[in-house]
């Protein structure tokens, strides 16, 4: 039986620790607020099923008071979730943008201090790609950590708790069924990541080829070598 691959590989963990130590730790206060807002979003999302159940119970019991206050409570929960989602998105983008700018400044300073021979080993287009495409992928990854990994997990936990509270047996059936669906989804995700990596490499190679070709046009035309 094949051993399962760890969620975080051995070479990835040092990179994540370095990312936190060098770039994310200065924004620890803002990240703490983001985590608090994510908790609010998860709690509000998990509250929706309980509100729906309470509304149906009120209809069955013909409770006029509950039916009167129900819409107000729904609006309040939706407003809280909406403002928390807005704050989480704004703060996440602010932190990610600042981290991206700090990384670009550090990379630029590092390249300026590099030896000329070492800089000559790479084309200008390849170096430019590091400031554009590579950092775009880093920004996307950091944003997805906040939105997909943290926020969606918090929402999932809240919804599962609500399901267990409303119908434990149905929750058990869903828990048995979901793993059969998660496998194909995980394989599709891995394939998309491979395609994304290949696309990034092709973009870099294409940009380098176009840049070098256009740079050689002036020399070719100057010496009449364009054929």
For residue range 16-47, list pLDDT tens digits in order. Answer: 788 888 888 899 999 999 999 999 999 999 99
One domain, residues 120 and 196: no
Same domain? 26 vs 56: yes
The answer to the question of residue 11 being in a domain is no
pLDDT-derived band at 85 (thresholds 50, 70, 90) equals very high
* 132 and 78 both lie in a single domain: yes
Give pTM, 2 decimals.
Answer: 0.71
Tokens encoding 132: 């554009």
Q: Based on the fold, state whether residues 85 and 114 are members of the same structural domain.
A: yes
Q: Is 122 helix (H, G, I), strand (E, B) or coil?
A: coil
Residue 155, in any domain of the structure: yes
**For the domain that residue 40 is a member of, what is the CATH number?**
1.20.1560.10
What does the CA dihedral 115, 117, 122, 124 come to, rounded to 10 degrees? 70
**Residue pair 177/184 in contact by the 8 Å Cβ criterion:** no
12 lies in a domain?
A: no
Count of structural domains, the chain: 2
The tokens for 193 are 């990541």
Say if residues 130 and 107 touch (Cβ distance below 8 Å): yes
Residue 39 resides in a domain: yes
Distance CA 41, CA 44 (A): 5
| Percent share of the chain, pLDDT over 90 | 20
58 and 115 co-located in one domain? yes
Domain that holds residue 43: 18-166
> Are 206 and 152 contained in the same domain?
no
**Unique residue bearing structure tokens 């209809």:** 59
Q: What is the pLDDT of residue 208?
A: 67
Check whether residue 49 and residue 100 sit in a common domain.
Answer: yes
Alpha-carbon span 108 to 86, nearest angstrom: 33
């Amino acid at each position: 039986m094949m051993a399962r691959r760890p969620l975080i590989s051995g070479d990835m963990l040092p990179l994540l620790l370095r990312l936190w130590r060098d770039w994310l730790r200065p924004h620890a206060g803002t990240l703490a607020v983001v985590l608090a807002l994510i908790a609010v979003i998860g709690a509000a999302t998990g509250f929706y099923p309980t509100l729906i159940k309470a509304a149906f119970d009120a209809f069955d019991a013909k409770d006029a008071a509950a039916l009167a206050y129900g819409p107000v409570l729904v609006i309040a929960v939706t407003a809280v979730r909406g403002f928390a989602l807005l704050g989480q998105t704004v703060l996440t983008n602010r932190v990610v943008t600042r981290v991206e700018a700090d990384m670009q400044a550090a990379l630029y300073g590092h390249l300026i201090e590099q030896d000329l021979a070492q800089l000559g080993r790479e084309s200008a287009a390849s170096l430019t790609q590091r400031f554009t495409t590579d950092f775009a992928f880093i920004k996307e990854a950091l944003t997805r950590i906040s939105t997909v990994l943290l926020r969606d997990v918090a929402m999932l936990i809240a919804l599962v708790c609500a399901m267990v509270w409303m119908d434990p047996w149905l929750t058990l059936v869903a828990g048995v069924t979901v793993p059969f669906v998660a496998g194909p989804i995980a394989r599709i995700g891995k394939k998309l990541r491979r395609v994304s990596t290949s696309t990034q490499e092709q973009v870099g190679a294409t940009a380098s080829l176009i840049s070098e070709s256009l740079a050689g046009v002036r020399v070719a035309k100057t010496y009449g070598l364009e054929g």
